[in-house]
Amino acid sequence: MFMLSKPDSALIIVGHGSTLNPDSSAPTFEHAEAIIQRGIFGEVHCAFWKEEPSFRQVLHCVERRDVYVVPNFISEGYFTRTVIPRELGLHGPVTRVGRHVVKYCEPVGSHMKMTELLLHRAATIAPGVPPENTTLFIVGHGTNLNDNSALAAKREVERIAAAGQYAEVLSAYMEEAPLISDWATLASQPNVVVVPFFIADGLHSYEDIPVLLGIASESPGAASAGAASVFAGNPYRLRDHTLYYASSIGTEPGFADVIMDQVSAFDSTAR
């Protein structure tokens, strides 16, 4: 097996972050901690749009000249194409920024391994539940400005459906049709597994989607780690189905491997 070794390179994992709760940045930090423990890169840093270290601070902290930037985002879109390049001063796949040579990798969500991670998450949340009697929902946001997360969710649905494991695989969204709130009429199978296709847990996965599913009532205030109790209630028996609700896909520890794969993929393409 090929082992990535980059002692003379730095890795920067960039995420969105939040000014309201720590859940948004937590998986990015956890993936970075896992990569640090493996000792693969000379340096590992995180940077965020809404938290510190910010995109504008992080290069000041990097010693290595050779720098890989991997966006911890679900899809190509406004952040990966506009905000991150602008804030880091990038003009293409490879940019000289001060004394650094920055290599801009693909976002994690576009990696082929996403399909495998979604299947793993679905199997873990509903152990022993036969996929041949199960509808699997991959839930995206939808209608975001310049955001292709809906396209990314559709792509994953096609890949999972092609594997033929689940009786039915559907994409659904919070703000565009097909709406996740219609899950019970959309699903033809007795078992239903719902996996949010988001990079982190937070307001959407803790509150918004559970409310739309009918497994939680609306609560005021920002989401917090305490809201994770929604996952402890599995399975939910309602509307003639048995429903299993998973946390966001971005909390899968396997994302650390995907981040490193995106670095390898960059090197393969650049060769």
Partner 1 sequence: MNRELLSAFTRWLDNGPRSIGQIAISRVGDFWELRHVEDRGGELKTHTRWQDARILANTTDAGVFRPIKTTRDLRHGWRLVLSSIENVCRALDYFYPAMLGLWNADARGELIVTDLRDTLARQTGMYRVTQKITDEQAQALIGRQCSTCQKTMLWRIDPAQPITSLPPEKHLRSSGGAFPLLCREGCNLLVGLARGVVKDAEKAATMDQPQ
What single-letter DSSP state applies at residue 106? P
Using the rule CB under 8 A, give the single segment among 82-90, 133-141, 164-172, 212-220 that binds partner 1.
82-90
Contact positions with partner 1 (CB under 8 A) in 33-52: 33, 36, 42-43, 49-52
Give yes or no for a contact between 29 and 64, defined as CB atoms under 8 angstroms apart.
Answer: no
The secondary structure of residue 208, as a DSSP letter, is I
Which residue lies nearer to partner 1 by CB, 4 or 129? 4
C-alpha–C-alpha distance, residues 66 and 85, integer Å: 17
Comparison of 58 and 152: residue with beta carbon closer to partner 1: 58
229-262 burial, b at 16+ Cβ within 10 Å, e below that, comes to ebbeeebbeeeebbbbbbbbbbbbebbbbbbbbb
**Out of 53, 214, 235, 254, which residue is the one contacting partner 1 (CB under 8 A)?**
53
Binding mask 134-163 for partner 1 (x = CB under 8 A): -----------x------------------
- Residue 194 CA to its chain's centroid (Å): 15
Q: Which of residues 153-212 bind partner 1 (CB under 8 A)?
A: none
Beta carbon nearer to partner 1, 87 or 168: 87
Residues 14-33: x where in contact with partner 1 by CB under 8 A, - otherwise, as a string: ----xxxxx------x---x
Locate the DSSP E strands across 79-120.
Answer: 94-97, 100-104
- Minimum CB distance to partner 1 smaller for 36 or for 215: 36
| Alpha-carbon span 214 to 78, nearest angstrom | 31
Amino acid, res. 54: S
Q: Tell me which residues touch partner 1 (CB under 8 A).
A: 18-22, 29, 33, 36, 42-43, 49-54, 56-58, 60-63, 78, 82-83, 86, 98-99, 145, 222, 224
